[in-house]
Amino acid sequence: MAHTWDPDHYLAFADQRGRPFVELVARVGATSPRTVVDLGCGPGNLTALLADRWPAAGVVGLDSSPEMIASARAAGARAAFEVADLRDWTPPAPVDVLVSNATLQWVPGHLELLPRLVGHVAPGGWFAFQVPGNFDQPSHTLRAALAAEEPYAEHTRGVAVPASHDPADYLDALAGLGCEVDAWETTYLHVLTGPDPVFTWVTGTGARPTLQALPDDLRPGFERELRRRLAAAYPERPSGVVLPFRRVFVVARVPEAVA
């Protein structure tokens, strides 16, 4: 089922969503790349950091969402932005740095896609990505359980749901391609504020396809019940609402060309 993205909603927690990107890119050792590509660039706010890091590089942000690309272009970052699907994207020439932040989890079977993506990177170049690894947490399981109940199940069957693998799985896959691999995981404890902050978080990303699949007369009831369940799972603390969020990071150095 097709769904769309809302850049403003996505940016509600821009600082928390951006921190993994910064920590991922910090491990990329490229010094003077000519071409840098951000696969799944979203609204482009993080792509701008790539242009700041490598000011002499040609930086391109790609996303399958026209809404996200329109927002990225409007922001005026020093980068080119294009609508493209990473599953069939092919660059005009191999790129020196290929980054993908919180995107591959939306691509079913993305582990099998890694050889193709590595093949788009120039010899000696870098491929770095980050994916959520929290799909066993209430922020996802409560949405899935509610969506499987009546009267919602007939509408939510087959909606897009994110999924990822453990760091060791990615390490094995990329090492098998000859890459030098740095893979790790981090669990952030995001302290969120505002009304129903976890609901606001998940409806900007993982829960969005489910909500869009529901007819207008059922969506409000689903949202009310999801708010209630999330508030019970993530109670208010003196510091705010704490959302534990596991992230999986991978930085791979593509082997140099064989003489």
pLDDT at 203: 87
Q: What is the mean pLDDT of the chain?
A: 91
**pLDDT in the model for residue 6:** 45
Confidence grade of residue 1 (pLDDT, cut at 50, 70, 90): very low
State pLDDT tens for residues 133-186. Answer: 999 999 999 999 999 999 999 999 989 889 999 999 999 999 999 999 999 999
Maximum CA extent, the chain: 64
Give, in order, the Cα–Cα distances in Å from 168 to each of 12, 100, 232. 32, 18, 33
Tell whether the model's pLDDT for residue 43 goes beyond 70. yes
- Are the CB atoms for 170 and 111 separated by under 8 Å? yes
Residue 52: pLDDT above 60? Answer: yes
pLDDT value of position 108: 93
Is CATH 3.40.50.150 correct for 7-253?
yes
DSSP per residue over 174-226, as a string? HHTTT-EEEEEEEEEEEEE-SSSHHHHHHHTTTTHHHHHHS-TTTHHHHHHHH
**Count of other CB atoms within 10 angstroms of residue 187:** 10
| pLDDT for 206 | 74
pLDDT at 14: 59
19-25-28 Cα angle (round to 5): 155
- For residue 8, pLDDT beyond 60: no
Total residues belonging to the chain:
259
Whether pTM > 0.95 for this model: the answer is: no
- Element spanning 252, H or E: strand 240-253
Is 259's pLDDT higher than 50? no
Q: For residues 44 and 18, is the Cβ–Cβ distance under 8 A?
A: no
Give yes or no for a contact between 103 and 85, defined as CB atoms under 8 angstroms apart.
no
pLDDT at 183: 98
Span between the terminal Cα atoms of the chain, in Å: 47
Parallel, antiparallel or unpaired: strands 121-132 and 95-101: parallel
pLDDT in tens, 203-255: 877 788 899 999 999 999 999 999 999 999 999 999 999 999 999 999 999 99
**107 and 165 Cβ atoms separated by less than 8 Å:** no
Domain boundaries, given as residue ranges, for the chain: 7-253
List pLDDT tens digits, range 63-97. 998 988 998 999 877 899 999 999 999 999 999 99
Amino acid sitting at position 10 = Y
- Give the C-alpha separation, 229 to 181, whole Å: 39
